[in-house]
Structure 1
Amino acid sequence: MLLKDYRTIFTQELASLYDEYETESFFYIILEDFHHMKRVDLALNPTFELSPELMHQWENVVAQLKEQRPIQYILGETEFYGLPFYVNEHTLIPRQETEELVDWIVKGNLKIERLKDLKILDIGTGTGCIAISLAKNLPNAKVFAMDVSDKALAVAKRNAERNEVTINFIHQSILETNDLGETFDIIVSNPPYVRNLEKEEIKKNVLDYEPHLALFVEDNDALLFYRKITELAIKNLSENGQLYFEINQYLGNEMVQLLQQHNFKDVELRKDIYGNDRMMKGKV
Protein backbone atom coordinates (compact mmCIF):
# COMPACT_ATOMS: atom_id res chain seq x y z
CA MET A 1 0.00 0.00 0.00
CA LEU A 2 1.16 3.52 -0.77
CA LEU A 3 1.96 5.49 2.36
CA LYS A 4 -0.11 8.44 1.18
CA ASP A 5 -3.13 6.11 0.92
CA TYR A 6 -2.46 4.58 4.32
CA ARG A 7 -2.55 8.08 5.80
CA THR A 8 -6.29 8.21 5.07
CA ILE A 9 -6.82 4.89 6.88
CA PHE A 10 -4.66 6.08 9.77
CA THR A 11 -6.78 9.21 10.18
CA GLN A 12 -10.07 7.31 9.99
CA GLU A 13 -8.95 4.74 12.55
CA LEU A 14 -8.20 7.43 15.15
CA ALA A 15 -10.92 9.96 14.31
CA SER A 16 -13.20 8.97 17.21
CA LEU A 17 -10.47 9.52 19.83
CA TYR A 18 -8.34 12.41 18.62
CA ASP A 19 -8.97 15.66 16.81
CA GLU A 20 -7.59 16.26 13.33
CA TYR A 21 -4.59 18.24 14.57
CA GLU A 22 -3.51 15.50 17.01
CA THR A 23 -3.92 12.75 14.44
CA GLU A 24 -1.88 14.66 11.88
CA SER A 25 0.79 15.30 14.49
CA PHE A 26 0.96 11.58 15.33
CA PHE A 27 1.25 10.67 11.66
CA TYR A 28 4.25 12.91 11.02
CA ILE A 29 5.98 11.96 14.27
CA ILE A 30 5.76 8.29 13.26
CA LEU A 31 6.76 9.11 9.68
CA GLU A 32 9.98 10.69 10.90
CA ASP A 33 10.67 7.95 13.45
CA PHE A 34 10.04 5.01 11.11
CA HIS A 35 11.18 6.42 7.77
CA HIS A 36 13.29 9.50 8.62
CA MET A 37 10.93 11.49 6.41
CA LYS A 38 9.33 14.86 7.00
CA ARG A 39 6.08 16.20 5.55
CA VAL A 40 7.83 17.60 2.49
CA ASP A 41 9.56 14.27 1.82
CA LEU A 42 6.22 12.49 1.61
CA ALA A 43 4.92 15.13 -0.78
CA LEU A 44 8.01 14.63 -2.97
CA ASN A 45 7.68 10.83 -2.85
CA PRO A 46 3.97 10.11 -3.51
CA THR A 47 4.73 6.54 -4.63
CA PHE A 48 6.51 5.56 -1.42
CA GLU A 49 5.19 2.09 -0.61
CA LEU A 50 4.85 0.34 2.74
CA SER A 51 6.17 -3.20 2.91
CA PRO A 52 4.07 -5.75 4.86
CA GLU A 53 6.57 -5.47 7.72
CA LEU A 54 6.28 -1.69 7.86
CA MET A 55 2.49 -1.91 7.62
CA HIS A 56 2.55 -4.14 10.68
CA GLN A 57 4.64 -1.58 12.56
CA TRP A 58 2.22 1.22 11.71
CA GLU A 59 -0.78 -0.93 12.68
CA ASN A 60 0.87 -1.77 15.99
CA VAL A 61 1.23 1.94 16.78
CA VAL A 62 -2.38 2.61 15.81
CA ALA A 63 -3.56 -0.18 18.13
CA GLN A 64 -1.69 1.40 21.03
CA LEU A 65 -2.96 4.89 20.18
CA LYS A 66 -6.48 3.48 20.33
CA GLU A 67 -5.68 2.50 23.92
CA GLN A 68 -4.65 6.16 24.39
CA ARG A 69 -1.08 5.19 25.18
CA PRO A 70 1.11 8.30 24.73
CA ILE A 71 2.95 8.40 21.42
CA GLN A 72 6.19 9.16 23.28
CA TYR A 73 5.95 5.88 25.20
CA ILE A 74 5.05 3.96 22.06
CA LEU A 75 8.13 5.22 20.22
CA GLY A 76 10.28 5.36 23.36
CA GLU A 77 11.53 8.89 22.84
CA THR A 78 10.67 12.56 22.57
CA GLU A 79 12.33 15.93 22.05
CA PHE A 80 12.89 18.54 24.75
CA TYR A 81 14.57 21.92 24.35
CA GLY A 82 15.91 20.76 20.98
CA LEU A 83 17.48 17.58 22.41
CA PRO A 84 16.49 13.91 22.06
CA PHE A 85 15.34 12.01 25.17
CA TYR A 86 14.45 8.41 25.85
CA VAL A 87 11.23 7.96 27.86
CA ASN A 88 9.40 5.02 29.36
CA GLU A 89 6.68 4.28 31.90
CA HIS A 90 9.06 5.07 34.78
CA THR A 91 9.39 8.73 33.75
CA LEU A 92 7.05 11.62 33.06
CA ILE A 93 6.96 12.80 29.47
CA PRO A 94 8.81 16.15 29.27
CA ARG A 95 6.45 19.03 28.52
CA GLN A 96 6.58 22.38 26.79
CA GLU A 97 5.92 24.26 30.02
CA THR A 98 9.08 22.75 31.50
CA GLU A 99 11.01 23.92 28.45
CA GLU A 100 9.93 27.44 29.40
CA LEU A 101 11.40 26.95 32.88
CA VAL A 102 14.70 25.72 31.42
CA ASP A 103 14.78 28.67 29.02
CA TRP A 104 14.28 31.09 31.92
CA ILE A 105 17.25 29.59 33.77
CA VAL A 106 19.50 29.43 30.71
CA LYS A 107 18.84 33.00 29.55
CA GLY A 108 19.13 34.35 33.09
CA ASN A 109 22.49 32.71 33.75
CA LEU A 110 24.44 32.71 30.47
CA LYS A 111 26.48 35.78 31.44
CA ILE A 112 27.00 34.54 35.01
CA GLU A 113 28.06 31.10 33.82
CA ARG A 114 30.81 32.61 31.64
CA LEU A 115 32.36 34.21 34.72
CA LYS A 116 31.64 31.52 37.29
CA ASP A 117 31.46 27.72 37.27
CA LEU A 118 27.89 27.36 38.46
CA LYS A 119 26.79 24.41 40.59
CA ILE A 120 23.24 23.34 39.78
CA LEU A 121 20.99 20.78 41.49
CA ASP A 122 17.86 19.37 39.80
CA ILE A 123 15.59 17.65 42.34
CA GLY A 124 13.23 14.96 41.00
CA THR A 125 15.02 14.73 37.67
CA GLY A 126 12.93 11.99 35.98
CA THR A 127 14.19 11.71 32.39
CA GLY A 128 16.93 14.20 33.27
CA CYS A 129 15.46 16.69 30.82
CA ILE A 130 16.04 19.77 33.01
CA ALA A 131 19.52 18.81 34.23
CA ILE A 132 20.73 17.65 30.81
CA SER A 133 19.35 20.69 28.97
CA LEU A 134 21.04 22.99 31.49
CA ALA A 135 24.33 21.11 31.22
CA LYS A 136 24.17 21.31 27.42
CA ASN A 137 23.40 25.03 27.35
CA LEU A 138 25.51 26.11 30.34
CA PRO A 139 28.58 23.97 29.54
CA ASN A 140 30.77 25.35 32.32
CA ALA A 141 28.22 24.41 34.99
CA LYS A 142 28.61 21.40 37.26
CA VAL A 143 25.18 19.75 37.31
CA PHE A 144 23.74 17.35 39.89
CA ALA A 145 20.44 15.48 39.52
CA MET A 146 18.48 13.68 42.26
CA ASP A 147 15.60 11.22 42.09
CA VAL A 148 13.98 8.71 44.45
CA SER A 149 13.35 6.27 41.59
CA ASP A 150 16.30 4.13 40.52
CA LYS A 151 14.38 3.22 37.34
CA ALA A 152 13.96 6.89 36.44
CA LEU A 153 17.65 7.48 37.12
CA ALA A 154 18.54 4.66 34.74
CA VAL A 155 16.66 6.52 32.00
CA ALA A 156 18.27 9.84 32.96
CA LYS A 157 21.78 8.32 32.84
CA ARG A 158 21.05 6.92 29.39
CA ASN A 159 19.86 10.37 28.27
CA ALA A 160 22.99 12.04 29.64
CA GLU A 161 25.13 9.67 27.59
CA ARG A 162 22.98 10.22 24.51
CA ASN A 163 23.37 13.99 24.80
CA GLU A 164 27.05 13.80 25.74
CA VAL A 165 26.92 15.66 29.02
CA THR A 166 28.28 14.83 32.47
CA ILE A 167 25.70 14.77 35.27
CA ASN A 168 26.33 13.79 38.89
CA PHE A 169 23.36 11.56 39.68
CA ILE A 170 22.06 11.05 43.22
CA HIS A 171 19.66 8.24 44.18
CA GLN A 172 17.87 9.76 47.16
CA SER A 173 14.48 10.80 48.48
CA ILE A 174 14.31 14.55 49.00
CA LEU A 175 11.67 14.05 51.70
CA GLU A 176 14.17 11.99 53.69
CA THR A 177 17.03 14.46 53.17
CA ASN A 178 18.00 16.71 56.07
CA ASP A 179 20.97 18.41 54.44
CA LEU A 180 22.12 18.54 50.83
CA GLY A 181 25.74 18.35 51.92
CA GLU A 182 26.93 20.92 49.38
CA THR A 183 26.30 24.51 48.40
CA PHE A 184 24.66 25.24 45.05
CA ASP A 185 24.23 28.37 42.96
CA ILE A 186 20.96 27.13 41.45
CA ILE A 187 18.42 24.63 42.74
CA VAL A 188 15.56 23.72 40.42
CA SER A 189 12.68 21.29 40.80
CA ASN A 190 9.56 20.14 39.01
CA PRO A 191 8.18 17.96 41.82
CA PRO A 192 4.81 16.17 42.06
CA TYR A 193 2.14 18.85 42.31
CA VAL A 194 -1.19 17.55 40.99
CA ARG A 195 -3.72 17.13 43.78
CA ASN A 196 -6.01 14.10 43.80
CA LEU A 197 -8.98 16.46 43.53
CA GLU A 198 -7.63 17.54 40.13
CA LYS A 199 -7.53 14.02 38.68
CA GLU A 200 -10.76 14.61 36.77
CA GLU A 201 -8.92 17.29 34.77
CA ILE A 202 -6.20 14.85 33.74
CA LYS A 203 -6.47 13.18 30.35
CA LYS A 204 -6.69 9.41 30.18
CA ASN A 205 -3.36 9.11 28.37
CA VAL A 206 -1.65 10.75 31.35
CA LEU A 207 -3.71 9.20 34.14
CA ASP A 208 -3.44 5.64 32.86
CA TYR A 209 0.18 5.60 31.75
CA GLU A 210 2.40 8.20 33.40
CA PRO A 211 3.91 7.38 36.84
CA HIS A 212 1.66 8.60 39.65
CA LEU A 213 4.67 8.82 41.99
CA ALA A 214 5.93 11.73 39.89
CA LEU A 215 2.51 13.36 39.42
CA PHE A 216 0.32 13.39 42.51
CA VAL A 217 0.32 14.77 46.04
CA GLU A 218 -2.30 14.49 48.77
CA ASP A 219 -4.97 17.19 48.80
CA ASN A 220 -4.27 18.13 52.42
CA ASP A 221 -0.54 18.78 51.85
CA ALA A 222 -0.12 19.91 48.26
CA LEU A 223 3.05 21.89 49.03
CA LEU A 224 4.83 18.97 50.72
CA PHE A 225 7.73 18.80 48.25
CA TYR A 226 7.98 22.56 47.77
CA ARG A 227 8.18 23.20 51.51
CA LYS A 228 10.91 20.61 52.00
CA ILE A 229 12.96 21.82 49.04
CA THR A 230 12.57 25.46 50.10
CA GLU A 231 13.78 24.64 53.61
CA LEU A 232 16.84 22.87 52.22
CA ALA A 233 17.50 25.54 49.59
CA ILE A 234 17.65 28.40 52.07
CA LYS A 235 20.44 26.49 53.87
CA ASN A 236 22.28 25.19 50.83
CA LEU A 237 22.21 27.99 48.28
CA SER A 238 25.26 30.19 47.85
CA GLU A 239 25.17 33.97 48.22
CA ASN A 240 22.73 35.31 45.60
CA GLY A 241 21.76 31.70 44.86
CA GLN A 242 18.56 31.04 42.94
CA LEU A 243 15.66 28.66 43.50
CA TYR A 244 13.41 27.75 40.56
CA PHE A 245 10.18 25.74 40.62
CA GLU A 246 7.58 24.49 38.20
CA ILE A 247 4.30 24.74 40.11
CA ASN A 248 0.63 23.84 40.24
CA GLN A 249 -1.23 26.55 38.33
CA TYR A 250 -3.81 26.89 41.11
CA LEU A 251 -1.28 27.47 43.90
CA GLY A 252 0.71 30.46 42.67
CA ASN A 253 -0.19 32.75 45.59
CA GLU A 254 0.54 30.03 48.13
CA MET A 255 3.94 29.44 46.54
CA VAL A 256 4.84 33.13 46.62
CA GLN A 257 3.95 33.18 50.32
CA LEU A 258 6.03 30.06 50.95
CA LEU A 259 9.20 31.54 49.48
CA GLN A 260 8.67 34.91 51.15
CA GLN A 261 8.11 33.23 54.53
CA HIS A 262 11.52 31.58 54.11
CA ASN A 263 13.13 34.97 53.42
CA PHE A 264 13.67 34.56 49.70
CA LYS A 265 14.07 37.86 47.86
CA ASP A 266 12.92 39.02 44.41
CA VAL A 267 10.26 36.32 44.27
CA GLU A 268 8.85 36.18 40.76
CA LEU A 269 5.86 34.19 39.48
CA ARG A 270 5.57 33.59 35.73
CA LYS A 271 2.82 32.29 33.49
CA ASP A 272 3.35 29.58 30.88
CA ILE A 273 2.49 29.75 27.19
CA TYR A 274 -1.13 28.84 28.05
CA GLY A 275 -1.51 31.75 30.50
CA ASN A 276 -1.34 29.62 33.67
CA ASP A 277 0.82 30.39 36.71
CA ARG A 278 3.50 27.76 36.13
CA MET A 279 6.99 28.72 37.27
CA MET A 280 8.68 30.82 39.89
CA LYS A 281 12.02 32.02 41.09
CA GLY A 282 13.46 33.35 44.32
CA LYS A 283 16.92 34.50 45.45
CA VAL A 284 18.66 34.21 48.81
Structure 2
Amino acid sequence: MSTFQALISSWASELSIYEKQEAESVVSWLLEHHLGWRRTQILDEADVSSFPQQLFGDFERLKTGEPIQYIMGKGPFYGRDFFVSAATLIPRNETEELVHLIIKENPEAGLRILDIGTGTGCIPISLALEMNNPEVFAVDISEEALEVAKKNAEALNAKVTFSTCNILTQTPEVTPLDILVSNPPYIPEQEKAEMHKNVLDFEPGLALFVSNDDPLIFYKEIAKKGKQLLKLGGKLYFEINEKYGIQVAELMNELGYTEVKVLRDLNGKERIAAGRR
Protein backbone atom coordinates (compact mmCIF):
# COMPACT_ATOMS: atom_id res chain seq x y z
CA MET A 1 0.00 0.00 0.00
CA SER A 2 1.20 3.53 -0.71
CA THR A 3 -0.18 7.05 -0.73
CA PHE A 4 -1.73 8.18 -4.00
CA GLN A 5 0.67 11.11 -4.47
CA ALA A 6 3.67 8.93 -3.75
CA LEU A 7 2.48 6.49 -6.40
CA ILE A 8 2.13 9.28 -8.96
CA SER A 9 5.61 10.63 -8.13
CA SER A 10 7.17 7.17 -8.29
CA TRP A 11 5.66 6.28 -11.66
CA ALA A 12 6.36 9.75 -13.06
CA SER A 13 10.05 9.36 -12.22
CA GLU A 14 10.21 6.50 -14.73
CA LEU A 15 9.03 8.70 -17.61
CA SER A 16 12.38 10.28 -18.40
CA ILE A 17 11.30 11.96 -21.66
CA TYR A 18 8.96 14.33 -19.79
CA GLU A 19 9.55 17.19 -17.38
CA LYS A 20 8.54 16.24 -13.82
CA GLN A 21 5.25 18.16 -13.80
CA GLU A 22 4.19 16.86 -17.21
CA ALA A 23 5.14 13.30 -16.25
CA GLU A 24 2.95 13.51 -13.13
CA SER A 25 0.05 14.85 -15.22
CA VAL A 26 0.39 11.99 -17.70
CA VAL A 27 0.45 9.40 -14.91
CA SER A 28 -2.60 11.00 -13.28
CA TRP A 29 -4.40 10.94 -16.61
CA LEU A 30 -3.62 7.23 -17.01
CA LEU A 31 -4.86 6.41 -13.51
CA GLU A 32 -8.02 8.41 -14.05
CA HIS A 33 -8.62 6.61 -17.35
CA HIS A 34 -8.34 3.13 -15.80
CA LEU A 35 -9.52 3.70 -12.22
CA GLY A 36 -11.65 6.82 -12.31
CA TRP A 37 -9.29 8.55 -9.88
CA ARG A 38 -8.68 12.27 -10.03
CA ARG A 39 -5.79 14.11 -8.40
CA THR A 40 -8.24 16.52 -6.81
CA GLN A 41 -9.81 13.70 -4.85
CA ILE A 42 -8.38 12.88 -1.42
CA LEU A 43 -7.10 9.35 -1.77
CA ASP A 44 -4.75 8.27 0.99
CA GLU A 45 -4.13 4.71 -0.07
CA ALA A 46 -3.28 3.13 -3.42
CA ASP A 47 -3.45 -0.66 -3.48
CA VAL A 48 -1.33 -1.45 -6.53
CA SER A 49 -2.20 -5.16 -6.34
CA SER A 50 -5.80 -4.33 -7.25
CA PHE A 51 -4.91 -2.46 -10.46
CA PRO A 52 -6.03 -4.02 -13.77
CA GLN A 53 -3.24 -5.56 -15.85
CA GLN A 54 -3.98 -3.28 -18.79
CA LEU A 55 -2.97 -0.28 -16.67
CA PHE A 56 0.52 -1.73 -16.24
CA GLY A 57 0.68 -2.54 -19.95
CA ASP A 58 -0.28 1.02 -20.82
CA PHE A 59 2.34 2.37 -18.41
CA GLU A 60 5.00 0.32 -20.25
CA ARG A 61 3.80 1.94 -23.49
CA LEU A 62 4.21 5.36 -21.88
CA LYS A 63 7.83 4.52 -21.07
CA THR A 64 8.54 4.00 -24.79
CA GLY A 65 7.46 7.59 -25.44
CA GLU A 66 4.07 6.74 -26.92
CA PRO A 67 1.77 9.72 -26.27
CA ILE A 68 -0.92 9.19 -23.63
CA GLN A 69 -3.58 10.27 -26.14
CA TYR A 70 -2.77 7.35 -28.45
CA ILE A 71 -2.75 4.92 -25.54
CA MET A 72 -6.18 6.10 -24.39
CA GLY A 73 -7.46 6.61 -27.95
CA LYS A 74 -8.61 10.17 -27.26
CA GLY A 75 -7.45 13.68 -26.45
CA PRO A 76 -9.10 16.89 -25.23
CA PHE A 77 -9.77 19.83 -27.56
CA TYR A 78 -11.84 22.95 -26.92
CA GLY A 79 -13.74 21.38 -24.05
CA ARG A 80 -14.50 18.06 -25.73
CA ASP A 81 -12.78 14.69 -26.08
CA PHE A 82 -11.80 13.63 -29.59
CA PHE A 83 -10.87 10.15 -30.75
CA VAL A 84 -7.33 9.94 -32.10
CA SER A 85 -5.36 7.23 -33.90
CA ALA A 86 -1.92 6.71 -35.38
CA ALA A 87 -3.35 8.21 -38.60
CA THR A 88 -4.10 11.58 -36.95
CA LEU A 89 -2.16 14.27 -35.18
CA ILE A 90 -2.96 14.83 -31.52
CA PRO A 91 -5.06 18.02 -31.13
CA ARG A 92 -2.97 20.85 -29.66
CA ASN A 93 -3.45 24.05 -27.68
CA GLU A 94 -2.27 26.30 -30.53
CA THR A 95 -5.04 24.93 -32.72
CA GLU A 96 -7.57 25.71 -29.98
CA GLU A 97 -6.43 29.34 -30.23
CA LEU A 98 -7.04 29.28 -34.00
CA VAL A 99 -10.55 27.91 -33.47
CA HIS A 100 -11.26 30.49 -30.77
CA LEU A 101 -10.17 33.33 -33.07
CA ILE A 102 -12.45 32.16 -35.88
CA ILE A 103 -15.42 31.88 -33.52
CA LYS A 104 -14.76 35.32 -32.05
CA GLU A 105 -14.32 37.07 -35.38
CA ASN A 106 -17.27 35.48 -37.18
CA PRO A 107 -20.54 35.73 -35.22
CA GLU A 108 -22.76 35.75 -38.32
CA ALA A 109 -25.23 32.93 -38.92
CA GLY A 110 -25.09 30.40 -41.72
CA LEU A 111 -21.45 30.81 -42.79
CA ARG A 112 -19.95 28.26 -45.19
CA ILE A 113 -16.65 26.90 -43.85
CA LEU A 114 -14.00 24.52 -45.21
CA ASP A 115 -11.16 22.93 -43.23
CA ILE A 116 -8.27 21.52 -45.28
CA GLY A 117 -6.20 18.68 -43.78
CA THR A 118 -8.73 17.95 -41.08
CA GLY A 119 -7.11 15.01 -39.24
CA THR A 120 -9.30 14.23 -36.22
CA GLY A 121 -11.84 16.79 -37.40
CA CYS A 122 -11.27 18.84 -34.26
CA ILE A 123 -11.34 22.18 -36.13
CA PRO A 124 -14.51 21.78 -38.24
CA ILE A 125 -16.39 19.88 -35.53
CA SER A 126 -15.64 22.55 -32.94
CA LEU A 127 -16.69 25.30 -35.37
CA ALA A 128 -19.88 23.40 -36.27
CA LEU A 129 -20.81 23.12 -32.59
CA GLU A 130 -19.73 26.59 -31.43
CA MET A 131 -20.74 28.90 -34.31
CA ASN A 132 -24.16 30.16 -35.34
CA ASN A 133 -25.65 27.45 -37.60
CA PRO A 134 -22.73 27.18 -40.06
CA GLU A 135 -22.45 24.85 -43.05
CA VAL A 136 -19.16 23.03 -42.52
CA PHE A 137 -17.00 20.96 -44.87
CA ALA A 138 -13.66 19.22 -44.29
CA VAL A 139 -11.16 17.37 -46.47
CA ASP A 140 -8.07 15.23 -45.93
CA ILE A 141 -5.80 13.12 -48.12
CA SER A 142 -5.88 10.27 -45.57
CA GLU A 143 -8.86 7.90 -45.64
CA GLU A 144 -7.81 6.61 -42.21
CA ALA A 145 -7.88 10.11 -40.75
CA LEU A 146 -11.28 10.78 -42.29
CA GLU A 147 -12.69 7.67 -40.62
CA VAL A 148 -11.56 9.04 -37.25
CA ALA A 149 -13.01 12.48 -38.07
CA LYS A 150 -16.36 10.97 -39.04
CA LYS A 151 -16.40 8.95 -35.81
CA ASN A 152 -15.79 12.15 -33.84
CA ALA A 153 -18.53 14.05 -35.65
CA GLU A 154 -20.99 11.25 -34.95
CA ALA A 155 -20.00 10.97 -31.27
CA LEU A 156 -20.27 14.72 -30.75
CA ASN A 157 -23.41 15.15 -32.86
CA ALA A 158 -21.79 17.64 -35.22
CA LYS A 159 -22.91 18.15 -38.80
CA VAL A 160 -19.80 18.21 -41.01
CA THR A 161 -19.46 16.99 -44.61
CA PHE A 162 -16.18 15.11 -45.03
CA SER A 163 -14.46 14.13 -48.28
CA THR A 164 -11.11 12.94 -49.60
CA CYS A 165 -8.90 15.50 -51.31
CA ASN A 166 -5.21 15.95 -52.14
CA ILE A 167 -5.08 19.74 -51.96
CA LEU A 168 -1.82 19.86 -53.93
CA THR A 169 -3.49 18.36 -57.00
CA GLN A 170 -7.24 18.81 -56.46
CA THR A 171 -9.67 21.64 -55.71
CA PRO A 172 -12.62 20.96 -53.37
CA GLU A 173 -16.04 21.60 -54.92
CA VAL A 174 -17.50 23.67 -52.09
CA THR A 175 -17.75 27.22 -53.42
CA PRO A 176 -18.62 29.84 -52.41
CA LEU A 177 -17.03 29.89 -48.95
CA ASP A 178 -17.07 32.47 -46.19
CA ILE A 179 -14.15 30.89 -44.29
CA LEU A 180 -11.25 28.69 -45.36
CA VAL A 181 -9.08 27.29 -42.56
CA SER A 182 -6.10 24.97 -42.53
CA ASN A 183 -3.46 23.59 -40.20
CA PRO A 184 -1.36 21.94 -42.93
CA PRO A 185 1.98 20.11 -42.70
CA TYR A 186 4.59 22.81 -42.03
CA ILE A 187 7.69 21.28 -40.45
CA PRO A 188 10.70 21.05 -42.81
CA GLU A 189 12.43 17.68 -42.79
CA GLN A 190 15.60 19.36 -41.48
CA GLU A 191 13.83 20.22 -38.21
CA LYS A 192 13.35 16.57 -37.27
CA ALA A 193 16.50 16.71 -35.16
CA GLU A 194 14.88 19.37 -32.93
CA MET A 195 11.72 17.37 -32.27
CA HIS A 196 10.75 15.17 -29.35
CA LYS A 197 11.04 11.42 -29.86
CA ASN A 198 7.40 10.88 -28.88
CA VAL A 199 6.29 13.06 -31.82
CA LEU A 200 8.74 11.65 -34.36
CA ASP A 201 8.17 8.01 -33.50
CA PHE A 202 4.39 8.03 -33.15
CA GLU A 203 2.63 10.92 -34.94
CA PRO A 204 1.98 10.65 -38.71
CA GLY A 205 4.74 12.19 -40.80
CA LEU A 206 2.23 12.80 -43.60
CA ALA A 207 0.53 15.42 -41.42
CA LEU A 208 3.74 16.97 -40.10
CA PHE A 209 6.53 17.29 -42.64
CA VAL A 210 7.29 19.17 -45.84
CA SER A 211 10.44 19.21 -47.94
CA ASN A 212 13.28 21.56 -47.03
CA ASP A 213 13.16 22.89 -50.61
CA ASP A 214 9.58 24.18 -50.42
CA PRO A 215 8.36 24.46 -46.80
CA LEU A 216 5.47 26.76 -47.78
CA ILE A 217 4.08 24.46 -50.46
CA PHE A 218 0.74 23.89 -48.70
CA TYR A 219 0.27 27.58 -47.87
CA LYS A 220 0.88 28.51 -51.52
CA GLU A 221 -1.58 25.97 -52.90
CA ILE A 222 -4.28 26.61 -50.31
CA ALA A 223 -3.99 30.40 -50.63
CA LYS A 224 -4.14 30.16 -54.43
CA LYS A 225 -7.18 27.91 -54.32
CA GLY A 226 -8.69 30.15 -51.68
CA LYS A 227 -8.96 32.85 -54.34
CA GLN A 228 -11.34 30.53 -56.23
CA LEU A 229 -13.12 29.05 -53.23
CA LEU A 230 -13.75 32.11 -51.07
CA LYS A 231 -16.42 34.74 -51.64
CA LEU A 232 -15.17 38.28 -52.11
CA GLY A 233 -14.52 39.38 -48.54
CA GLY A 234 -14.23 35.79 -47.32
CA LYS A 235 -11.50 34.96 -44.81
CA LEU A 236 -8.49 32.66 -44.90
CA TYR A 237 -7.02 31.36 -41.61
CA PHE A 238 -3.80 29.36 -41.25
CA GLU A 239 -1.96 27.75 -38.37
CA ILE A 240 1.70 28.35 -39.19
CA ASN A 241 5.24 27.37 -38.29
CA GLU A 242 6.47 30.09 -35.92
CA LYS A 243 9.57 30.55 -38.13
CA TYR A 244 7.62 31.45 -41.26
CA GLY A 245 5.18 34.15 -40.20
CA ILE A 246 6.69 36.87 -42.39
CA GLN A 247 6.94 34.58 -45.42
CA VAL A 248 3.33 33.38 -45.14
CA ALA A 249 2.10 36.97 -44.78
CA GLU A 250 4.15 38.04 -47.84
CA LEU A 251 2.73 35.13 -49.82
CA MET A 252 -0.85 36.10 -48.93
CA ASN A 253 -0.21 39.75 -49.78
CA GLU A 254 1.33 38.81 -53.15
CA LEU A 255 -1.76 36.77 -54.00
CA GLY A 256 -3.99 39.78 -53.32
CA TYR A 257 -5.34 39.05 -49.85
CA THR A 258 -6.08 42.13 -47.76
CA GLU A 259 -6.03 42.82 -44.00
CA VAL A 260 -3.29 40.18 -43.67
CA LYS A 261 -2.12 39.69 -40.10
CA VAL A 262 0.17 37.34 -38.19
CA LEU A 263 -0.84 36.63 -34.59
CA ARG A 264 1.10 35.29 -31.63
CA ASP A 265 -0.15 32.45 -29.44
CA LEU A 266 -0.25 32.49 -25.64
CA ASN A 267 3.44 31.54 -25.61
CA GLY A 268 4.36 34.57 -27.70
CA LYS A 269 5.07 32.57 -30.87
CA GLU A 270 3.74 33.57 -34.30
CA ARG A 271 1.32 30.73 -34.95
CA ILE A 272 -1.67 32.15 -36.86
CA ALA A 273 -1.91 34.01 -40.17
CA ALA A 274 -5.16 35.43 -41.49
CA GLY A 275 -6.38 37.58 -44.35
CA ARG A 276 -9.40 38.53 -46.44
CA ARG A 277 -10.02 37.76 -50.10
Q: Which residue of 2 aligns with 1:155?
A: 148
Residue from 223, 229, 237 that aligns with 2:230: 237
Going from structure 1 to structure 2, the CA distance change for 1:3 and 1:30 (only over 3 Å counts) comes to farther
Going from structure 1 to structure 2, the CA distance change for 1:158 and 1:137 (only over 3 Å counts) comes to same
Name whichever of 204-213 and 273-282 sits farther off. Answer: 273-282
> Any idea what the Cα deviations from partners look like across 1:70-94, whole Å, max 9, x if unmatched?
1111111110011110111000001
Residue from 196, 202, 218 that aligns with 2:189: 196
Looking at structure 2, the residues matched to 37 and 52 of structure 1 have their Cα atoms a distance apart, in angstroms, of: 14
Amino acid at match of 2:63: K
Name whichever of 77-86 and 3-12 sits farther off. Answer: 3-12
Displacement of 1:48 = 5.0
> Any idea what the Cα deviations from partners look like across 1:198-236, whole Å, max 9, x if unmatched?
111111000011000000000111111111111111111
Are the aligned partners of 2:165 and 2:172 in contact in 1 as well (CA < 8 Å)? no
Amino acid at match of 1:70: P
Residue from 70, 80, 87 that aligns with 1:83: 80
Q: Which residue of 2 aligns with 1:10?
A: 11
> Any idea what the Cα deviations from partners look like across 1:257-276, whole Å, max 9, x if unmatched?
11001110100100112211
Residue from 46, 49, 69 that aligns with 2:47: 49
Quote the RMSD (CA, aligned, Å): 1.6
> Any idea what the Cα deviations from partners look like across 1:41-92, whole Å, max 9, x if unmatched?
2x2x3235345452x2332122111111111111111100111101110000
* 1:31 to 2:31 alignment: yes
Displacement of 1:3 = 6.4
Looking at structure 1, the residues matched to 121 and 142 of structure 2 have their Cα atoms a distance apart, in angstroms, of: 12
* 1:106 to 2:103 alignment: yes
Going from structure 1 to structure 2, the CA distance change for 1:53 and 1:37 (only over 3 Å counts) comes to closer
Displacement of 1:239 = 2.5
Q: Which residue of 1 aligns with 2:208?
A: 215
Looking at structure 2, the residues matched to 139 and 36 of structure 1 have their Cα atoms a distance apart, in angstroms, of: 35
Gaps of 5+ in 2: none
SS of the residue aligned with 1:40? Answer: coil
Displacement of 1:10 = 1.1
Going from structure 1 to structure 2, the CA distance change for 1:170 and 1:67 (only over 3 Å counts) comes to same
Displacement of 1:153 = 0.2
Looking at structure 2, the residues matched to 3 and 148 of structure 1 have their Cα atoms a distance apart, in angstroms, of: 48
SS of the residue aligned with 1:18? Answer: coil
Going from structure 1 to structure 2, the CA distance change for 1:6 and 1:141 (only over 3 Å counts) comes to same
Displacement of 1:8 = 4.2
Looking at structure 2, the residues matched to 88 and 179 of structure 1 have their Cα atoms a distance apart, in angstroms, of: 25
Name whichever of 176-185 and 264-273 sits farther off. Answer: 176-185
Q: Which residue of 1 aligns with 2:58?
A: 61
Are the aligned partners of 1:3 and 1:50 in contact in 2 as well (CA < 8 Å)? no
Amino acid at match of 2:72: L
Are the aligned partners of 2:13 and 2:20 in contact in 1 as well (CA < 8 Å)? no
Looking at structure 2, the residues matched to 178 and 9 of structure 1 have their Cα atoms a distance apart, in angstroms, of: 52
Amino acid at match of 1:236: L
Q: TM-score, normalised by structure 2?
A: 0.95
Looking at structure 1, the residues matched to 132 and 155 of structure 2 have their Cα atoms a distance apart, in angstroms, of: 16
Looking at structure 1, the residues matched to 76 and 218 of structure 2 have their Cα atoms a distance apart, in angstroms, of: 27
SS of the residue aligned with 2:119? Answer: coil
Going from structure 1 to structure 2, the CA distance change for 1:273 and 1:8 (only over 3 Å counts) comes to closer
Q: Across the two proteins, how many residue pairs are aligned to each other?
A: 276
* 1:182 to 2:175 alignment: yes
Q: Which residue of 1 aligns with 2:121?
A: 128
Amino acid at match of 1:259: M
> Any idea what the Cα deviations from partners look like across 1:120-162, whole Å, max 9, x if unmatched?
0000000001001101101400100000000000000000011
Are the aligned partners of 1:180 and 1:232 in contact in 2 as well (CA < 8 Å)? no
Q: Which residue of 2 aligns with 1:252?
A: 245
Name whichever of 27-36 and 213-222 sits farther off. Answer: 27-36
Displacement of 1:180 = 3.5
Are the aligned partners of 2:165 and 2:171 in contact in 1 as well (CA < 8 Å)? no
